Amino acid sequence: MEIKPNEVLWTVDVGVAGLEKVVRLPAGELELTDAQLQDAKSDIDAYLLECLKVEINGSPVEAEAGALEPLYASTVATGQKYISYARQHFRFRSPTEAKRVQLSSALFFTVIRNHQAAVIVSWGGAQKVFTKYGPFELDLTPARLNPTILGTATEFILWGMHHIFVGYDHIAFLMALLLAAQRLRDMVRVVTSFTVAHSITLLLAALDVIRLPGAVTESLIAASIVYVAAENYFITQGSHRWILTFAFGLVHGLGFSSVLRERLQDLQSIAVPVVSFNLGVELGQISILLVVLPVLTLIRRAPDEKGRERRQWWLVRVGSLPILLLGSFWLVDRVFQLNLMPF
């Protein structure tokens, strides 16, 4: 793939042996001629355009199909030449200068498990090879092809903040904990212990020391939400809850790692990305705390201690109910792989 100021040129080499599984070709791999390949061009183009998508600066871009070329190889036994790959050229024009390009591919996902693709990207004089497996998405910027420490740190801090803001399950877990924490000191302990715990497992997972199936991790995260929300109906003192938060934070760190692991494959060092991502998550949590704290304080406000205790009692029970219901729904969805939730 070559990214130019106002267009993206994507040259796709796709194996004929793979094409035979998804497109009706006039002949088999060893017998296919160039003329027969060209006769199948419209079907090949239709399949590739169905599987390959490009967005430039966040907007989908239509492809212009160019020439289809045969790439030959020789058999080991007889030296017979045959068409091993079909090379198709695509052009994606942009009305504005390309500053961010997003690729997605679903080639062979219905017939080949863990299909491997090498994506060679050139942009502004820099070149980088990305190795991908199965259906994939690739988010490209000039900085990603030629990263600096500052640029990498900034990217992963923002990514960590974004992930906590859209991670509704992580937010629900924290909210369930914060409802029972009446003092600022207890809230800070909850948030900090959560960060320390998920930082540990995130680093270990990034180093591939520990790895759990995604379905197991997601189910455990949902179970942690259910447990904490249910416990809110029985807990009387939340000052020591940071210990529970730490234990469940280890599980949530595995959830973060599933998002981070693929991105780390393209980097030579993991120290700056992992630390920066954690910092972004912590900043996101602090932002949530700064919003939640005044609201909880306002709800708990009462002229006397007895009134505050009564309001706290109702706050915990009323606030925990939707979290408990959502957590239960997430748990069922993830245990039985219903995929009803978009995250």
Please provide residue 144's backbone torsions phi and psi, each rounded to the nearest 5 degrees. Answer: -70, -30
Chain center to CA of 268: 20
% of the chain surpassing 70 pLDDT: 96
Task: Name the one residue in this structure whose structure tokens are 């201690």.
Answer: 305
Q: What value, to the nearest 5°, has the Cα angle with vertex 181 and ends 180 and 186?
A: 155
pLDDT of 69 reads 96
For residue 341, pLDDT beyond 70: no
* Mean per-residue pLDDT over the chain, rounded: 89
Least confident of 34-38, 128-132, 136-140, 208-212: 208-212
When pLDDT is averaged across residues 71-96 and rounded to a whole number, the result is 94
When pLDDT is averaged across residues 24-38 and rounded to a whole number, the result is 93
For residue 239, pLDDT beyond 70: no
| Distance separating alpha carbons of residues 97 and 185, to the nearest angstrom | 49
pLDDT of 106 reads 93
pLDDT of 241 reads 80
Least confident of 89-93, 130-134, 255-259, 303-307: 255-259
Greatest pairwise CA separation for the chain in angstroms: 94
**Tell me: the pLDDT tens digits for 244-283?**
889 898 988 888 777 777 677 767 678 888 889 889 988 9
Of the two residues 115 and 341, the one the predictor is more confident about is 115
pLDDT of 342 reads 55
When pLDDT is averaged across residues 326-339 and rounded to a whole number, the result is 89
Of the two residues 49 and 148, the one the predictor is more confident about is 49
Token pair, residue 129, equals: 């090879």
Of the two residues 317 and 242, the one the predictor is more confident about is 317
When pLDDT is averaged across residues 58-73 and rounded to a whole number, the result is 95
CB 197 within 8 A of CB 255: no
Q: What is the DSSP letter of 234?
A: T
Task: Name the one residue in this structure whose structure tokens are 């490009």.
Answer: 54
Given pLDDT bands bounded at 50, 70 and 90, which one contains residue 38? Answer: very high
| Residue 302, H or E segment | none
Delimit the domains of the chain by residue range: 2-145, 149-335
**Tell me: the pLDDT tens digits for 102-151?**
999 999 988 887 788 999 999 999 999 898 888 999 999 988 888 888 88
For residue 177, pLDDT beyond 80: yes
Of the two residues 208 and 100, the one the predictor is more confident about is 100
Whole-angstrom CA distances from 281 to 153, 177, 275, 287 are: 13, 17, 10, 10
β-bridge mates for residue 72, sequence order: 83
For residue 343, pLDDT beyond 60: no
The Cβ of residue 335 has, within 10 Å, a number of other Cβ atoms equal to 14
CB 21 within 8 A of CB 111: yes
